[in-house]
Amino acid sequence: MALPGISTSSAFLFFFLLPSLIQLLEASSFTFNNGFNGKESDLTRQNGATIDNQSGLLKLTNTSYQVTGQAFYSKPIQMFAKDSTPNKTHQVSSFSTSFVFAMVNPRSRPGGYGLAFTISPSPEFPGAEAGHFFGIFSSSNFKNTPNHIFLVEFDTVDGLNETEDNTGNHVGVSFNEVNSAETKIAGYYPDGTPEEKQHMILDSTDGELICAWIEYDGVEKLLNVTIFPTSLQKKPNKALISRHVDLASVFNEKMFVGFSASTGKTKSSFHYILGWSFAMHGKAKELNFNQLPKLPNQDGTSSLKPQIIALIAGLCALLLMLLVILGYLTLYKRMTKTFEILEDWELDCPHRFKFKDLHTATKGFKDSELIGVGGFGAVYKGILPSTGCEVAVKKITKNSLQGIRDFAAEVESLGQLRHKNLVNLQGWCKKKNNLIIVYDYIPNGSLGSLIFNPRGNIFLTWERRFNIFKGIAEGLLYLHEEYQQVVIHRDVKSSNVLIDSDMNARLSDFGLARLHDHHGEISHTTGVVGTIGYIAPEFARTGKASTATDVFAYGVLLLEVACGKRPIGSGNFILVDWVTECCQMGRLLDVVDPKLGSEFAVEEMELVLKLGLLCSYHKPEARPSMRQVVRYLNGDDLLPVFDGWGTNVESQGEYRLSTRCMEVTSNGTSTSIGAGVSFNSINIGR
């Protein structure tokens, strides 16, 4: 029986097409909220992508080097509007997607490279490479316009062909190629204060959960990308990236949507997707963060049993109650006093800035004033409104316990240090959760950037380099012997040496420094901190820092600047080994930086290279003190004839072992690399 007003043929056609219409709607909208278990057939997975059987987590990569992983929705999506015809201009339909991800670094080495939300004609990418190419592109096709690939990348490593000055901690959008059309440093704009951006670290050792929204308005041709920590619960109104773009030239009629991630040669991370929703012609369904699967423990084991969690929660509640009572009693006692008790580091550096002055100086901590960012904070250029002086303002990341410790350590270390070859600490600011340190602004940047990424008309001649060597040595001599306490820097490297307008060296970044008395034992067991390539073998093995560990790093720095090569290169290249081998063969001058040509004093060059080898010798007792180093550089003493030149290649095996196997040394009882080894720094934000 036909329906009133509807012919039998129309009704038959409707019921015949109904299953296809339902299938089309299902393919255009989907949600994975409580993990991906039981929905394996809905995802096309390639390479290292797996679904955890217990938690339902989608893991794109593990921490192996040079691996990729892809996971795409198995059905293609109709991307063009229905009224698009071969005779009319294609119009991309509006779409929206939301997902929660986490990038977890191993505790013993640097993380990378990142993941990308991807829309492509196919879920398979034959020949794609890892590293910067995200498992999507290769070195032969990463700039091809016909790729028809759209990416929103969450990158934790400096981009392809980018300089050292560019941060890898960014979000970018790419069209048909791996190079981003637009990038922004990772962060979000709180609804209450939308002009003050809160920076975020995309990868971490504790696996912070990050929610991303990618929305495209097909009519306005407006693309919005927003990220925020799931602890915020609600998506901020202001997007991180907002860009007008017509995706009609990028998309085909039908496309696949999904994710791809990769690791690199020396950096790797776990890349997880915890939940995902997608919708065409409307807003994607919001994910319920409380229903998301839990991340596994750092060692790869599953989460604690519910009974144990309940027991821990009960004990925490009891402890919290006791802390509240204790806090009330402490507050009551403080309220009865008429003065504020200052911490030791506040007394050491009495110059306290007003937060509003620093807010004005940095134009509200705008990205345009950002000159560097790291694991525990960002550094801005500022102009003090009261004096007009240029300053560098370091803002410690909120809720970073390690950042708070480094803040106190840096203020305490630099509070009373005064030397022409050290960066001058002007003051500090502490307001609620805002911890800020203010330094002199050094205009020429770091020694490392001038050596490896020179800019402008600044070229480091040999005369300038030799003068810089002397300045660094005099600064370290002051720290080791001339200050009222022994200061061990623990992170001497080329990027921590700043060059002022007179081309003089200024040693910076004292967040890892430690103070000791001049008498008695000055080394003690700590966590292994510093930068790979500069860490002395005995420090990596025992965790005991001493002035000799600074001397070792200084020796590596001498070789780095004289040779124009980094301490560790691709393959098995280690700078100290290479210079030692050339010295052994009587070809020491073959290692000189080619950019110098023949414009250098041979005697000075040989002195610097041999002194670098002597300072970086594997036995700490054989290294000179910084006072001896200064005398050698000034010509007051002759460099001793060192009988280790011929055997140093073999003995440096200990150095090579400690450099390449930092993860193994972390298993010892006296060392701890818990904060993660980084080619930038361990345990410290830059």
Q: Which of 415, 373, 367, 416 is nearest to 396 (CA)?
A: 373
Two tokens, residue 62:
């593990």
Q: Which residues contact 213 (CB under 8 A, 6 or more apart)?
A: 96, 97, 98, 224, 225, 226, 227, 235, 284
Strand 241-244 to 170-175 pairing: unpaired
Q: Which residues contact 61 (CB under 8 A, 6 or more apart)?
A: 48, 49, 67, 68, 69, 261, 262, 263, 268, 269, 270, 271
Query: Rounded CA gap, 575 and 482, in Å?
Result: 31
Separation in Å, CA 37 to CA 55, 57, 300, 313? 8, 8, 18, 28
Query: Rounded CA gap, 230 and 100, in Å?
Result: 8
Residues present in the chain in total: 686
Two tokens, residue 25:
């709607």
Burial 26-42 (b: 16+ CB within 10 A, else e): ebbbbbbbbbbbeeeee
∠ CA 500-419-488, nearest 5°, is 105
Strand 77-78 to 254-262 pairing: antiparallel
For CA atoms 78, 82, 88, 92, give the dihedral sign.
Answer: negative
Q: Which of 487, 473, 504, 354 is nearest to 417 (CA)?
A: 487
Q: Is 155 in the active site? A: no
Question: What are phi and psi for residue 615, nearest 5 degrees?
Answer: -70, -30
Query: Rounded CA gap, 179 and 637, in Å?
Result: 53
Three-state SS sequence of 283-342: CCCCCCHHHCCCCCCCCCCCCCCHHHHHHHHHHHHHHHHHHHHHHHHHHHHHHCCCCCCC
Query: Rounded CA gap, 562 and 594, in Å?
Result: 10
Question: What are phi and psi for residue 432, nearest 5 degrees?
Answer: 55, -120
Q: Which of 155, 491, 509, 577 is catalytic?
A: 491
Calculate the CA 588 to chain-centre distance: 36
Task: Report H helices in 585-647.
Answer: 602-615, 626-634
- Amino acid (1-letter code) at residue 399: N
∠ CA 135-137-140, nearest 5°, is 135
Query: So which residues are the catalytic ones?
Result: 491
